[in-house]
Structure 1
Amino acid sequence: MIQYRMLKKDDMQIEEYHRMRHTLWPRHEERELYDEMLKILENIPFYKNELSWTVFAAVREDGSLGGFIEITVYPELHFCSTKPVAFIEGWYVDEDLRRRGVGKGLVETAKKWALENKCTEIASDVELHNQVSQLAHQALGFIKSHKGSTCIYYKREI
């Protein structure tokens, strides 16, 4: 049975987290992804004007990681009607765990955390070519807000 928990900087599984980040974003330099990961685990804003970072992992029965979701909180986003807004920065599930509810479990965990942090909307973006992620967002109740030059932006109420 998969369990979901927040990752912290002293977790023993940060190399697994790094592996999954590099699988999700293979065009990025490994060192860049690793440096970002350390900032995320220490909740150090570094990207835009985010207020905080949190990452939750899907933990397999053997204790290894099988997925993650990175969540930020922004003071506001122009395409959302409430503030602050939770935002999914990264969402990944290992191939062998897909279509088994693990992605949904990660999003549900993120939604619960977002509510605890006074957010009533959660948003995300998906690269234009990533049809699988677009379908996953839609299946979980996200609605398309708008299309940018490289991404489609989604949002939903919590």
Structure 2
Amino acid sequence: MEIVPFNHSNIDQLTKLIIALWPECKFDQEYANCVRILESDKECYFLAKNHDQYIAFIYLNLRSDYVEGANTSPVGYIEGIYVQPDFRKQGVAKKLIARAEEWCREKGASFLASDTEIDNSGSIAFHQQMGFEVTNRIVTFIKELK
């Protein structure tokens, strides 16, 4: 298994993995977003490849706005991470995070941050196993004004 950057040749496979993580998204929109990110120096994807099959990805962003718990900027931010079910619990996500940490350091970031839903105990446990610390727990609200 190897960790590879995404490029024009693997955008289709990456987009399929994105849709697996976020099924409410549309393939064409996510594909176009990936093409845009190819030209970005503040966003990137890395993929895990097992033989000829792409099995996982991590989506990173450099945030310059406030990030809970960080006292410097920019902060590397995990916007999404996904491993196909058959390949989970085999160290794939750990390798993706290690590559993410390298990318963040290369970009001048001193922190790598992430978030998850407050009731996603599996994701919370995963983040803590990867060395992340909880910095805050919040519930957000909105009211539509009519």
Q: Structure 1-normalised TM-score?
A: 0.80
Q: Which residue in the other structure is 1:112 paired with?
A: 102
Paired residue for 2:143? none
Which residue is 1:26 aligned to? 23
Distance 2:139 2:20 in 1: 23
Do the aligned partners of residues 128 and 30 (structure 1) sit closer, same or farther apart at CA in structure 2, a change above 3 Å counting?
Answer: farther
Q: Which has the larger radius of gyration?
A: 2
Letter of the 1:83 counterpart: S
Letter in 2 for 1:35: A
Q: Secondary structure at the match of 2:116?
A: strand
Seen in structure 2, the aligned counterparts of structure 1 residues 24 and 84 have a Cα distance that, compared at 3 Å, is same
Q: Which moved more, 1:26-35 or 1:65-74?
A: 26-35
Aligned partner of 1:127 in structure 2 is 117
Judge conservation of contact 2:16–2:27 (CA < 8 Å) in 1. Answer: no
Asked if residue 143 in structure 1 is aligned to residue 142 in structure 2, the reply is: no
Superposition pairs of residues 64-143 of structure 1, within 5 angstroms: 64-79=53-68, 80-143=70-133
- Confirm or deny that 1:39 pairs with 2:29: no
Aligned twin of 1:6: 5
Q: Which runs of 4+ in 1 moved over 4 A?
A: none
Identity of aligned pairs, percent?
29
- Deviation of 1:128 after TM superposition, in Å, equals 3.0
Letter in 1 for 2:23: P
Structure 1 unaligned spans of 5+: 44-50, 151-158
Read off the aligned partner of 2:72 and give its amino acid letter: T
Normalising by structure 2, we get a TM-score of 0.86
Structure 2's unaligned 5+ residue stretches are 141-146
Contact 1:59 1:67 in 2 (8 A): yes
Relative to its length, the structure with more helix (as a share) is: 2
CA distance in 1, matches of 2:120, 2:29: 22
Q: Distance in 2 between matches of 1:93 and 1:54?
A: 17
What amino acid is the match of 2:93?
Answer: G
